Structure 1
Amino acid sequence: MKKPLLFLVLVIVVVAAALLLRAHPLDLGALRDLLARLEGWRQDHALTLFALVFAGYVIVTALSLPLALWMTLASGALFGFWQGLLLVSFASSIGATLAFLAARYLLRDWVKQRLGARADKIDAGLKRDGAFYLFTLRLIPVVPFFAVNLLMGLSAMPARVFYLVSQAGMLAGTAIYVNAGTQLATLDSLSGIVSPRILASFALLAVFPWIARLVLAMIKRRRAYRGWTRPVAYDRNLIVIGAGAAGLVSAYIAAATKARVTLVEAHKMGGDCLNYGCVPSKALIRSATLAHQMRHASDYGLSDTQPQVPFRALMARIHRIISDIEPHDSVERYEGLGVEVLLGHARLIDPWTVQITAHDGTVQRLTSRAIILATGSRPYLPPLPGLEVVAPLTSDTMWAHLSDRDTPPARLAILGGGPIGCELSQAFARLGSDVIQIEQGDRLLSREDAEVSAMVQTALEADGVRVLTDHKAQACGITDGEKWIEVSHNGSPQRIAFDEIIVAVGRRARLQGFGLEELSIPCDRVLETNDYLETLYPNILAAGDVAGPYQFTHTASHQAWFAAVNALFGDFKRFKADYRVIPFATFTDPEVARVGLSEAEAQAQNISHEVTRYDLAELDRAIADSATRGFVKVLTVPGKDRILGATIVGAHSAELLAEFVLAMKHGLGLNKILGTIHIYPTLAEANKSVAGTWRRAHINARLLGVVRRFHDWRRG
């Protein structure tokens, strides 16, 4: 209660002072009379009067009272230009800093709690550009200085920076008003102090820090390219390295805008998603789902049937599906679009030159105004003792390794409890493998809410997966021809035998072998890029897994637009990559799809929120499909329908999520979803139902009482 009480006292003091000033308004005549009465006392007590005016100015500024202008004029009239400028410059800056600190102490925590994650983003922006913003605002007299003091106090700007920038930024305006005070006797009105010409000068002066920033950026750019010789002319407008999702979209955009673009791919067109990830895994999951439905046909009024799993044929289907989709990403298609496609290994020679070594060993070098690195990622193999001995599989290598088998692995260990590990565990269990899934964390899908993790684990265990959470892998090996992995749980070791092991503990960006080290381009887990996806060299950009922070095909395509447009047209207009609304899904059964905040994330970040939930067991179509397992959960701003996040668990949740993605992207609330017609009976009605649940929870009870009495009256 200490802060609210102190804040209330300050508000009362400021309001009382403002009302008093309104009742006894100042004008130039009253100010001249006051200064005339002080003139004699000033001659005998100049130093004391200076100190009193200084202290009064600090108090007036700190309390944001509308007296600063009059005190500035008075200071110029009483002490002359230089002494008045000294007094007002320091007193105003000190007072402003006190107001800044008061706002920080009294209001910052409350505001940050209300804004949640947005407050961190604002702080990050002000940390980078806050001094420029503040200096600009201080140079524009029409912006109320007290508002600047209070708003900056809500940020994380250091008080020292605020004081120094304020001291410098207010100096020019202070000088004008102090000088006007020295001419108080001849001053007719306040409007004459700041003429349109002076205001225009201030506006030009306010542009100065941004010009300085551009100059600094140019200097930084020149420094980055120091030691490199820029080509006189370029062979290409754009070279894209990597033909996965990010590379394909980048090249497509360049060709569509009639740029001369070369796409270089070292292995297979379509990248990981087509050849090893999204496409084959979803084909596997579909077959596994059908096998599961056959075993549980009685759920649909049919007879349960034990499926036969000719695994070689199943894998052949997966490769056939890849082949059917390949033309979408093929060399022929992209050459038809106007893209030059080169198959080989690309390496940066300098910021504008790429060396391509073809598969037949021939080498060529091409120069380009811009280069996009879209080299993707590869599965991560942890430094687990003995892992290489047991020939581990990954989501990249398993498809070729398992293709010649007549049956799925009898005993399969899967290391990792993330989306890939969960999808593969369930799929292989449904196809007949004895699956053990090992996760060192305390639950599966750790990014999701605990209830989501529990629901997925229950589903996997129902399909026969033995889930070992809180088990840390210690070592692997082969004893008497049998492969094993040793895990530790609460300090107790345990050995688990297996025939095959799939490692699914994450992916790492492909960073080696592209010449990044020679160019000193910063990279750790991913390439270091700015908001525009530019690396150390502004003409070299990155998109997709290699750029982070997400490893989804759809975010790679999303980034590619920004990378391509900035690469081709960045000299005229650049666009910051937009990560505000990023959806993702885990294709287990039930599926898990989410966009925005989860409930756990909102709680961890102290973001105020309401939770509205609708169980699919209440939905007619879900009941008809025997697909009642799951729910829709939406987080909203308290008392409002603005969506902070949505989680859907259930059949086809990835498709159902699209409506919430659209709503969040374009600022549509739950009331808009509720007012949209949804076909009956469909699973999509779950979205409308959760919106209706929110609406019923926010009905005005008092208004309903009035309406009830109205209806009673109409009945007579």
Structure 2
Amino acid sequence: MHLRPRNSDDKAAHWTRPSKFDRNLIVIGAGAAGLVSSYIAAATRAKVTLVEANRMGGDCLNFGCVPSKALIRSAKLAHQMRQASSYGLAPTTPEIRFADVMERVHRIIEEIAPHDSIERYTALGVEVVRGFAKLVDPWTVEIDQGGDGIRRLTTRAVIIATGAEPFIPPLPGLADIGYLTSDTMWDVLRQRPAPPRRLVVLGGGPIGCELAQSFARLGSAVTQIEMAPRLLLREDAEVSEIVRSALARDGIDVLTGHRALVCGTGTDGKWIETEHAGERRRLAFDDLIVAVGRSARLTGFGLEDLGIPVDRVVETNAYLQTRHPNILAAGDVAGPYQFTHTAGHQAWFATVNGLFGDIKRFKVDYSAIPWATFTDPEVARVGLSEAEAREKNIPYEVTRFDLNDLDRAIADSATHGFVKVLTVPGKDRILGATIVGVHAGDLVAEFVLAMKHGLGLNKILGTIHIYPTFVEANRQAAGIWRRAHVNPRLLAMLEWFHRWRRG
């Protein structure tokens, strides 16, 4: 979360500010936030150095968004082959060539990698340095380049964009049995000729649900364990139930309300023991994926030595500045969201405030942050859910349109899902929108635009949408809202007018 930095009259009293600087900006981390920050700085002709110790592109390219969506697409095609009778075709059992699936995943990473490469950013005017960066004082960054030695650079501003990594719970026996994460699984499973035979996915958030469904569709016997009473806890209960039902249809044994107690090995191989309602259960498995969340990378960068508070994230103010105003943070390491698109969004504010903050500062805008979970069906949201509105005592109205009444969804045999919009009572101002269904991650963009620019449902209703498309569902929801808010006195007057016109 974003917190207000501690006030201090001597924030840099122990250090001497350089009279001149080697760089205008140094960015630590070449993930989404770091790349966007470097790009913007170079575009404004600032002298910028980007430091990365691992892979360019960060988690999204190498371990997260890109490989997972490639895997999801292969898994969905396998599922569609089994369900071909829904389209008047003969169903078939796909031959899962798992090694080829994983090679496709890595090939897609390689195809996208040039977008985030050293060569591209060097051509843009960014100096890219391989190494581990550490803040020595508020204006000096020390870079350990390994065999190339230690390098020190002074800079007017620094952006911490070090990202996050999978959180590993303190589960007894977990380290001994060997486990996978969304970071490690891609290289490990690349060596396998077949998917895991018995797979346990620990976690019921977006990552856990996406991976559980994908591996089930690729032939694994999947058990998903979630300590909370339902999956996707941030979404409304009805959304969680739809996703749970979809996973169950794919053969996944979804165990919500189950607390993992201990792992071990036995005659039947590896096992995990859970507790639910006072009863213990032991499950055998071949592989286990830990997907219980991600934690910010906070250590090793000198933040503590500079007195920069860190808890779950780097503590920043509304301008993404730390207690040293020239040191800023963006992306997963800053919170409060852990999405690639919010990392890029924050990067603009961090960069502009870092380079020009003594002239003009900008508060980061979180008014319309969307996200999606790419299960089948997809789940996408922007703004408030019903549960959040109730928790915050925010009055709201709900307008809902079910996809089973949408022509294109019927034609595509994809009628599972809905569009649900929360509005200010009596007004068309949008407080939030949740979409469940195919292409939900694409469809929500219209509501993001509307919320960002203050457009209400009447504007969506008055906009032409191509027929027949899924995005018509948004206009249909707006139409339902409009019909529910027609003035009855006006209708009575119109009825009288038409009667008078008939003579």
TM-score norm. by structure 2 comes to 0.98
Q: Give the match for residue 232 of structure 2.
A: 445
Name the structure with the higher helix share. 1
Is residue 221–residue 538 contact of structure 1 (8 Å, CA) maintained in 2?
no
Is residue 221–residue 537 contact of structure 1 (8 Å, CA) maintained in 2?
no
Q: Give the match for residue 335 of structure 1.
A: 122
Q: CA deviation at 1:607?
A: 1.0
Is it true that 1:257 corresponds to 2:48 in the alignment?
A: no
Structure 2 counterpart of 1:391, from 174, 178, 193: 178
Structure 2 counterpart of 1:605, from 392, 404, 426: 392
Q: Give the match for residue 311 of structure 1.
A: 98
- Answer with 603-612 or 564-573: which moved more: 603-612
Structure 1 counterpart of 2:169, from 377, 382, 389: 382
Q: CA deviation at 1:674?
A: 0.1
Q: Give the match for residue 498 of structure 2.
A: 711
Q: Give the match for residue 458 of structure 2.
A: 671
Is it true that 1:540 corresponds to 2:292 in the alignment?
A: no
Which runs of structure 2 are paired with 1:462-473 in the superposition (5 Å)?
A: 462-473=249-260
Is it true that 1:510 corresponds to 2:272 in the alignment?
A: no
Residue 181 of structure 2: SS of its match in structure 1?
Answer: coil
Write the letter of the residue equivalent to 1:268: R
Is residue 439–residue 471 contact of structure 1 (8 Å, CA) maintained in 2?
yes
Q: CA deviation at 1:220?
A: 5.6
Q: Give the match for residue 237 of structure 1.
A: 24
Structure 1 counterpart of 2:427, from 617, 640, 647: 640
Distance in 1 of aligned mates of 2:91 and 2:399: 37
Q: Give the match for residue 293 of structure 1.
A: 80
Q: CA deviation at 1:456?
A: 0.3
Distance in 1 of aligned mates of 2:472 and 2:439: 13
Q: Give the match for residue 336 of structure 2.
A: 549
- Say what the alpha-carbon RMSD is for the aligned residues: 1.4
Which runs of structure 2 are paired with 1:244-643 in the superposition (5 Å)?
A: 244-480=31-267, 482-643=269-430
Is it true that 1:681 corresponds to 2:458 in the alignment?
A: no
Q: CA deviation at 1:253?
A: 0.5
Structure 2 counterpart of 1:658, from 445, 449, 453: 445
Distance in 2 of aligned mates of 1:714 and 1:576: 57
- Output one character per residue of 1:481-524: Cα deviation in whole Å (capped at 9) or x when no partner: 61000000011111000000000000000011111122121101
Write the letter of the residue equivalent to 2:128: V
Q: In structure 2, list runs of 5 or more residues that go unmatched.
A: none
Is residue 318–residue 364 contact of structure 2 (8 Å, CA) maintained in 1?
yes
Is residue 378–residue 509 contact of structure 1 (8 Å, CA) maintained in 2?
yes
Cα 1:232–1:481 shift into 2, 3 Å: farther
Write the letter of the residue equivalent to 1:348: L
Q: CA deviation at 1:222?
A: 5.0
Distance in 2 of aligned mates of 1:528 and 1:286: 38
- Output one character per residue of 1:224-260: Cα deviation in whole Å (capped at 9) or x when no partner: 0001011121110000000000000000000000000
Residue 602 of structure 1: SS of its match in structure 2?
Answer: helix
Name the structure with the higher strand share. 2
Residue 341 of structure 1: SS of its match in structure 2?
Answer: strand
TM-score norm. by structure 1 comes to 0.69
Write the letter of the residue equivalent to 1:438: I
- Output one character per residue of 1:283-328: Cα deviation in whole Å (capped at 9) or x when no partner: 0000000000000011111110100111111000000000000000
Is residue 7–residue 323 contact of structure 2 (8 Å, CA) maintained in 1?
no
- Output one character per residue of 1:386-445: Cα deviation in whole Å (capped at 9) or x when no partner: 000111110000001100111100000000000000000100000000000000110000
Distance in 2 of aligned mates of 1:359 and 1:265: 12
| Higher RCO (C-alpha under 8 Å, 6+ residues apart) | 2
Is residue 419–residue 474 contact of structure 2 (8 Å, CA) maintained in 1?
yes
Distance in 1 of aligned mates of 2:267 and 2:305: 47
Q: CA deviation at 1:360?
A: 2.4
Is residue 351–residue 539 contact of structure 1 (8 Å, CA) maintained in 2?
yes
Q: Give the match for residue 701 of structure 1.
A: 488
- Output one character per residue of 1:263-284: Cα deviation in whole Å (capped at 9) or x when no partner: 0000000000000000000000
Is residue 610–residue 637 contact of structure 1 (8 Å, CA) maintained in 2?
yes
Is residue 137–residue 306 contact of structure 2 (8 Å, CA) maintained in 1?
yes
Distance in 1 of aligned mates of 2:51 and 2:387: 42
